[in-house]
Amino acid sequence: MSGKLYIVPTPVGNLEDMTYRGVKVLQEADLILAEDTRTSGVLLKHFEISTPMRSHHKFNEHEEAPKIAERILAGENVALISDAGTPGISDPGFMLSRECRRLGVEVECLPGATAFVPALVASGLPCDRFVFEGFLPPKKGRATRLELLAKDSRTVVIYESPKRLARTLRQLAEAFGGDREACVCREISKLHETYHHGTLSELSSHFEVNQAKGEIVIVIKGLQGKVKAADSEEE
């Protein structure tokens, strides 16, 4: 009888955001796949989880996914976690899930932490319809993508690193228009969680002189008066 792949969200900040069910699954699994075993080791130690752990990240997932899927097919229960949030959302996870589905292995994803949902809801911008972009293309296709998103009537949600934030806000202001409303959300569920509201021009100017730290989510109001959806899945 084959086992099961459990996809387990982990806290994006506060460890108290971990669910009881998530802890139970990690305790009872035969193996935990972690994006970074050092980072996840802190989480496992906190919740007294002694399950064996193995690295599963973007540099080895192509090679590892078929092997892990075969182990599950042979009867092991495997839990997949990332450094923070839900695996597969701008983190490794898709390839293993796809391979398990291909082999007929059951995949169960637990509901739980992710950064973009609280950022979107707390931003004060419309959240009834939105498009989640994750990280924008670093170079090739970036300008084209920004141009397309600028015409979308839905709220746009983007992940960004603090080092690239100022440049990205500058590019967003150029593509969307400097007067477009936005919110920069930083360190969701952590001690220094902050929300900076304003136009893209105002936010760009602010972060040009104020270096941001921590994980960043940018929420941008959709284009008003026109209805057009970008070529992206609606979340």
User: What does the pLDDT look like over 39-67, one tens digit per residue?
Assistant: 999 999 999 999 999 999 999 999 999 99
Residues with Cβ within 8 Å of residue 216, at least 6 apart in sequence: 159, 160, 161, 162, 165, 184, 185, 186
List the CATH code of the domain at 4-109: 3.40.1010.10
Alpha helix (H) ranges present in the chain? 20-28, 37-46, 61-73, 94-103, 116-122, 142-149, 165-176, 200-209
**pLDDT tens per residue, range 87-117:** 999 999 999 999 999 999 999 999 999 999 9
pLDDT level of residue 139 (50, 70, 90 thresholds) = confident
> Architecture of 116-220 per CATH?
2-Layer Sandwich (3.30)
Locate the domains of the chain by residue range.
4-109, 116-220
Mean pLDDT of the chain: 93
Q: Which two tokens stand for residue 210?
A: 């104020």
| Residue 73: band (very low, low, confident or very high) from pLDDT cuts 50, 70, 90 | very high
**Residue 58 CB-density burial (10 A; 0-12 exposed, 13-18 middle, 19+ buried):** exposed
Q: Give per-residue pLDDT as tens, 182-223.
A: 999 999 999 889 999 999 999 999 999 999 999 999 999 999
Establish whether domains 4-109 and 116-220 are of one fold. Answer: no
Does the model's pTM come out above 0.85? yes
**pLDDT tens column, 165-183:** 999 999 999 999 999 999 9
Which SS3 state, helix, strand or coil, does residue 6 take? strand
Using CA atoms, how far residue 232 sits from 85, 175, 218, in Å, is 21, 18, 17
